[in-house]
Amino acid sequence: VTRSSGGSNTLRRLTAYEYNNTLRDLLHLDLRYAVDLPPEGVAKEGFKNNTTVLMTSALHLEYFERIARGALSRILLAPQDKPAPYFVRVEPELAFAGAADKKNEANKNRRKKPGSGVSYGIKNGDHYAPGNGARGPLFRMDFGEAAGDTILLAGNRPRDPVDALFEVDRKIGGSKGDGRSGFQPEFRIEMYEVPYDAPVRVRIRCAAVPGKGGSWPRLSFELGSFRGANVSDQKEAVNVEVRSSELQTLEFVVHGANFPFQSNKPGRPSYFRIYNDYRRGTSQLTYEELPKLKIDWVELQGNYYETWPSPAKQSILFASEYAQDEPRYAREVIARFMQRAYRRPVLEVEVERKLALFRKLRPQEESFEATMVSTLTAVLCSPHFLLLSEPGDAGADAEAATRRRLDDYELASRLSYFLWSSMPDTTLFELAEAGRLHEPDVLREQVRRMIGDPKSAGFARHFTSQWLDLPAIRRLAVNPEYFDFQEPTKDLFEEESIRFVHHVLREDLDIANFIDSKFVVLNHALAKHYRIPGISGGFQVRELPAEQHRGGLLTQASMLFGNSTGAETHPIKRGVWVLERLLDDPPPPPPPNVPELVEPEGPDESKLSLKERLVAHAQVASCRDCHRKIDPWGVVFENYNALGQWREGTRDPLVRPPHQEKTSNPETQLRNGRSLRNLDELKAYLLTEKKTQFRRAVVRKVLAYALGRYLDFSDRKSIDLICEAVESRDDTFQSVLEEVVLSEQFLTK
C-alpha cells in the first residue's frame, strides 16, 4: 500500500556543511567550524539533508556549544589593541646570486634555533645563500632561474613516457639533470614565531612568460608546517592562471586557522611555498617552450586586519548611541544577532529571555564581551538556529496546519539552503521584509542571481556529490596488485564531476549533457590519466573528438571507479548506478542468501570472462529476473577498466602483469530486446527512448534535495508540471532549478 507523508516538512536540522556555511556568513569569519562534528547519515536516495537521517545526539549538542563558544570568544575577546603585524618581504633575486659561494655559511645559519637570529637564504639545486637580514625567516629556491631583477618558475618535466602509468606527484622528476627542468620549481619561505591563528595577507609581484601554443603559467601557493625530516603538512590556498606579461601585484587574504600552519613539534618552522602549477601532461614541451612564472617579490603579513576591531566583531558589537548604556546596548546587540541567527523577525518575549540570561551571567563575568559570548552561545545552541523550522499556524485546524504557504522569511531560508547551503543574504532578507520574495518574477530573478553567485558552488558540490554518490570513491581502495595509483587522484575524480555539473548549471546547458557532451572539464592530471593529449594546466572546459570516448557523466572516473571492485570492473554496480541515479528506477534489493558472483574455471583452466560469469550467475532462479534488468546497463561499460580508463580487445596494458589479459566485450541486450553494441549506443538510447524518464529523474532528484525529504504520490502533480515546463524551456539545468523553486511543493510547508 502506498502511503503519503502529506508532502510536508515541519523541521529539520542543518547538515554539517550547512551549519559550517551558516556560521561563516553569520559571523563574517570563514573557518572550518564543522570539521569535528559527528558524521552525517545518508538517506536511501543518497541525500544527507533528508530530515529522516538528521538525528541530533547529545554529542552533537556538546559540539555545537563548544564550536559556538570558541568562535564567539575568538571574535569578541580579541585584544583591545590591534595585534602587531608579522611582516616578511622577500626579493629572491637578491639572494640568488653567489649561492654556491655561500652554501656553508647558509647551512650554518639554518641550524640556529628559532628566535636566535635565523637568517633567510635561497636554494638553487643543493646550494643555499643567506639573505642580509639579521633575524627573520629562511627562504629557499628549488630549481629556479634568475632573470634580471626577477626569478623564473617553470612547469615540471615528466620523467615517464606518454603511455606510462599515471602518478600524482608535484615533483615528477626529469631525466636531463640540468637543474632547470627536472623538478617542479618552487620558492619557499620558512618562518618561526608566525601568528598562525589570524588572517594572512599574501602579495605577489609577478608576470607571465607565455609558452608555446599560447599556454600560460599557473600561480599556486600553499601554507603548511614541518612535522619532521622531509615530512610536512600543507594545504593549497590559491591556484590561478597568470595571463599578463607585465608585472602586476596579486593580493590574497586567507585565514591561518584553516591551514596546517602551526607546527606540532617545537622548533619546526611554518612555511609558505609558491610554485608554477602548469603541467605539461602529455604535451612534452621543452624547458624553453614552457610557460614561466616571473616573480619579482613576495610579501606575507600575518595578523592582517584592514580595520580594528575586526569586521566580525563590529558586525556583532556595532556602533550605537547606546553603546555606553550597557543594559540598552545589550538588548540591541542580542535582538539584532538573534534576528540574523534565527533568519526571521524575533518576538519581544524571545529577546527578553536571552536578555534575562545576560543579566544573570553579567556579575559572574569579567566583562561585557565575556558575558555576551555566553549569551550568544545560547542563541547558537537554540533549535531556532540549528533547525530549519516551518511551523503551522497557531490555532489552525489539522489540515490547514499541515499544508500552508511559506511566509517570505521561511521561503528565503528554503531558497538559500537549496542553492547556497547557507543562510539568506541581505538581498533575500530585504525582499522578505518587503513581502515581495514570493512573487514569481522576483523568485525567478533571485534564482538566476543566486546561480551566478560564487556561493552556488555549494549547490554544485553537495547536490552532485550526493546525487552521484561520489563518496563511493572514498569507500573503495585501489588494488595495488592491479594498478599503480596515488590516493590524491581520487580528489580529481570527485572534482571533475562537481565542476562538470557546475558548468552545465552556470552556462544554462541542456541536462542531456549529463548523458553525453562534446566537452569535458579536465586538468592536466586527469588528461594524463585518461590518456588525452594536449591538455596542460588547471581545470578547463575542452571539446574533444569522439575517438577519445569521453563526454557526460557516464565516462567519468568518479562513476566508473566508484562502481568497480578497485581491481576489476563491476557491471552489476554500474548497472544499478545508472538505474538509480539517472533513471530513478532502482532495482529491488537482492533476495536473502543470494549467492556470490563466483569465478568458475573454464575447460582450459583459465578463468571465465566477467560476462560469462554473469551469465552463469543469472541462471540461478532467484537471481534471474533482477539480473535481466540490471546487467545489460552495466555490461556496456566494459571498455572502461576499474579506474575509468579506456581499453579494448583482449588486453588492458594499463593494468599490472599478470592481470592484463582481459576481454572487453560491451555488447549486450536490454530486457526489452534492444541490442546495444557499446556505451555510445546506450547514450543514444537514453537520449531518445528514455529522455522523458531521464528528465523526470533529474527533476525528482533536484526536488527531493530542495525539500529535504522523500517524495511520495502527493508530489506527482507538481513533478508533472515541472517536467512540462522544463521541456518547454529546452531542458536546461537552470530551468529545472527555477521550476522547482516556483512549484507548489517548494512554496508550501
pLDDT digits (tens, 9 = 90+) for 713-726: 999 999 999 999 99
Q: Are residues 272 and 323 in the same domain?
A: no
Residue 667: all three cell numbers together: 555488447
Q: Does residue 685 fall inside a structural domain?
A: no
H or E element in which residue 225 lies? strand 218-228
Q: Does residue 622 fall inside a structural domain?
A: yes
Q: Convert the pLDDT of each residue in 137-190 to its tens digit.
A: 444 444 345 556 676 777 654 433 332 222 222 222 233 333 343 445 677 777
Is 119 a residue whose pLDDT tops 50? no
Count CA within 13 A, CB hemisphere, residue 157.
Answer: 20
Is 608 a residue whose pLDDT tops 80? no
Q: Are residues 560 and 494 in the same domain?
A: yes
Q: How many domains does the chain have?
A: 4
Among 680, 710, 730, give the residue marking a domain's end: 680
Q: 131 falls in which pLDDT band (50, 70, 90)?
A: very low
Q: Does residue 432 fall inside a structural domain?
A: no
Which residue has better confidence, 228 or 530? 530
Going by the DSSP 8-state scheme, the letter that residue 546 receives in this structure is G
Q: Are residues 606 and 553 in the same domain?
A: yes
Q: Are residues 602 and 700 in the same domain?
A: no
Give yes or no for a contact between 181 and 276, defined as CB atoms under 8 angstroms apart.
no
> What is the pLDDT at residue 106?
39
Residue 104, domain CATH: 2.60.120.260
> What is the pLDDT at residue 593?
66
- Three-class SS state of 295: strand
> What is the pLDDT at residue 190?
75
CB atoms within 10 A of CB 523: 23
Q: Are residues 114 and 225 in the same domain?
A: yes
Q: Are residues 325 and 201 in the same domain?
A: no
Give yes or no for a contact between 467 and 705, defined as CB atoms under 8 angstroms apart.
yes
Task: Give the domain extent around 736.
Answer: 691-747
Q: Convert the pLDDT of each residue in 315-333 to its tens digit.
A: 999 999 999 999 999 999 9
How far apart are alpha carbons 469 and 303 in whole angstroms? 40
Q: Are residues 373 and 340 in the same domain?
A: yes
Q: Whole-model pTM?
A: 0.83
Q: Are residues 628 and 723 in the same domain?
A: no
Q: Convert the pLDDT of each residue in 85-114 to its tens digit.
A: 888 888 766 655 444 344 434 333 333 332
Among 302, 327, 349, give the residue marking a domain's end: 302
Q: Are residues 220 and 148 in the same domain?
A: yes
CB atoms within 10 A of CB 177: 9
